[in-house]
Structure 1
Amino acid sequence: MSLSIFVINPNSSTNVTAGIDDALTPLRLTDGPKIECHTIIEAPPGIQSETDIMQVMPLLSTFIRSHEAQAAGFVIACFSDPGLAMARETTRLPVFGIGESAMLTALTRGQRVGVIAIQPASISRHMRAWGAMGILSRLAGERALGLNVEELIDERKTWMQLLETGQKLRDEDGANVVVLGCAGLAHYRRQLEQALGLPVVDPCTAAGGMALAAAQLAVLDDQI
């Protein structure tokens, strides 16, 4: 039976899921596992608070349990990594959070990491995560776009905010690698990288790449 990497968008935005699916296209190998993107339709439209996180955690657990037999691994596609520790307790399979994966990837691309968040309220939540990971000494700074999930649909406005925020992280905070702090920003990565002259990490492809590597190694282990 062919196994899949299940990429879970833990909010109810199908537009965000479509963007994640498109971003992961380069990782779909003809001889590799399927990469399937799913929306938790019962979830809130965006994960913007601890209350939202608490709401989606049981939904994620239910999804993982119901798909475990068909899975090579799971990706939780929200930058706040809601329910990541719980998910890892739920299944024996590897589970990757896009926030954690993006930061680990960024540490290999630069010495000082700058993060572009969506809302200012997210920053304190992210800081707790970076502290738990022990990487605060490598953090140049984190700045917010100040846009909500619905406003991200305005691509011109989003791009101008991304560029301005990235420039501040580079010029004022000293970042030499930038992380996009949202699952719905992948299609700006190349453009922002060229504009800033710095590596820019998309969290979905960072986590998807790790999940793909883990799945491929598991296949090799089974063949030995």
Structure 2
Amino acid sequence: MNVVPRILALNPNSSESVTQSVVHAMRCAMPERMAEIVGVTCSDGPEGIVTQADFEDARHRVGARVVGNFLGAYDAAVIACFSDPGLEAVRSQCAIPVIGMGEAGMRCALQAGERVGVVAVADAAIPRHLAYWERIGIGHRVVGERALNISVAASGDHVQAFERMLAAGRTLRDKLHADAILLGCAGMSALRGQLESALDVPVIDPCAAAIVAAIDAVNGKAKP
């Protein structure tokens, strides 16, 4: 292991701005003296991981990038996409810890509340998310998801996203009785604090949750 753990944050979509947002959120959650975080963008990937076709595209790219190019250079890898494309396959082929951002975010949210609601980027992503929660055994704790229906790149922009995010959060809190909210896209991190203040319930950023999980895994405190 490197003296300071070196963590790969691999963004399966082609948005460099999303990669920068992810790395910034991770660095805010984890001081640089505790980890070196390197963001890598799949420049030939889809613009966002929204549809099932996007997910399948990303799943193949993640496997090729992590297993083919990065294994010897990092102490852990984070798949910087809420849908965790390729997570199981990459974990089975890697000796280093591989963290799924969606899984890490949800497990953090389940510690913050009993009933978790998710703010998704688009309606098209919700069935895949719900199936994922069921598959990893936590679907009974997820009260539902509500979507912004904007692009991944716009999901962290205050002007374009915040009012939609607030409306989704209020629906999850007031109508579905969520007592914790999970941001369902890597691009939403910049709005977490403002949303939490407006809703007065815990709002979990999956980027921050993922880097904490990665460092814990490297240090042997938890298994990914």
The normalised TM-score by structure 1 is 0.92
Percent of pairs identical after alignment?
Answer: 38
Distance 1:15 1:36 in 2: 14
Q: 1:25 to 1:151 in 2, by over 3 A?
A: closer
Choose from 30, 39, 42 the match for 1:40. Answer: 42
**For residues 49 and 9 of structure 2, what CA distance do their matches in structure 1 show?**
16
The amino acid of 1:82's aligned partner reads P
Equivalent-residue separation in structure 1 for 2:32 and 2:14 (angstroms): 30
Q: 1:117 aligns with which of 120, 140, 143?
A: 120
Q: Distance in 2 between matches of 1:70 and 1:96?
A: 16
* Deviation for aligned residue 1:15: 0.7
Q: Indicate how the Cα distance of structure 1 residues 155 and 30 shifts in structure 2: closer, same or farther if over 3 A, else same.
A: closer
- Counterpart mapping for 1:127-206 below 5 A: 127-152=130-155, 154-206=157-209
**Aligned counterpart, 2:64:** 62
Kindly state the Cα deviation for residue 31 of structure 1 after the two structures are TM-superposed. 4.1
Preserved CA contact (<8 Å) 1:64 1:90: no
- Cα deviations by residue, 1:131-170 (Å, 9 ceiling, x for unpaired): 1112122112111112123543652230000111101111
- In structure 1, give the amino acid aligned to 2:120: A
- 1:26: Cα distance to partner? 2.5
**Contact residue 192 and residue 205 of structure 2 kept, 8 A:** yes
Letter of the 1:197 partner, please give it: D
Contact 2:156/2:191, CA 8 A, preserved across alignment:
no
TM-superposed deviation, 1:17? 0.6
C-alpha distance in 2 between matches for 1:129 and 1:120: 15
Query: Segments of 4+ in structure 1 off by > 3 A?
Result: 27-31, 150-154
**Inter-CA distance 169–30: structure 2 relative to 1 (3 Å threshold):** closer
1:30, 1:185 → 2: CA distance?
A: 22
Q: Closer, same or farther in 2 for the Cα pair 1:150/1:183, shift >3 Å?
A: closer
Contact 2:78 2:99 in 1 (8 A): yes
Deviating more after overlay: 9-18 vs 145-154: 145-154
TM-score (ref. length: structure 2): 0.92
Query: Could you say if the C-alpha distance between residues 70 and 169 of structure 1 is closer, same or farther in structure 2, counting changes exceeding 3 Å?
Result: same
Counterpart of 2:173 in structure 1: which amino acid?
A: R
Query: Structure 1 unaligned runs (5+)?
Result: 219-224
Partner of 1:217: 220
Q: Which has the higher Rg, Structure 1 or Structure 2? A: 1
Partner-residue secondary structure (3-state), 1:184 = helix
Tell me what 2:20 maps to: 18
The reply to whether residue 97 of structure 1 matches residue 100 of structure 2 is yes
Q: Is the 8 A contact 2:152 2:185 kept in 1?
A: no
The Cα of 1:130 is off from its aligned counterpart by 0.6
Aligned equivalents of 2:65 and 2:29: distance in 1? 23
Q: Deviations over 1:69-94 (max 9, x none)?
A: 11111100111111111111221111
| Aligned-residue CA RMSD (Å) | 1.6
**Contact 1:79–1:99 under 8 Å retained in 2:** yes
- Note closer, same or farther for the CA distance 1:150–1:64 as it changes in structure 2 (3 Å cut): closer
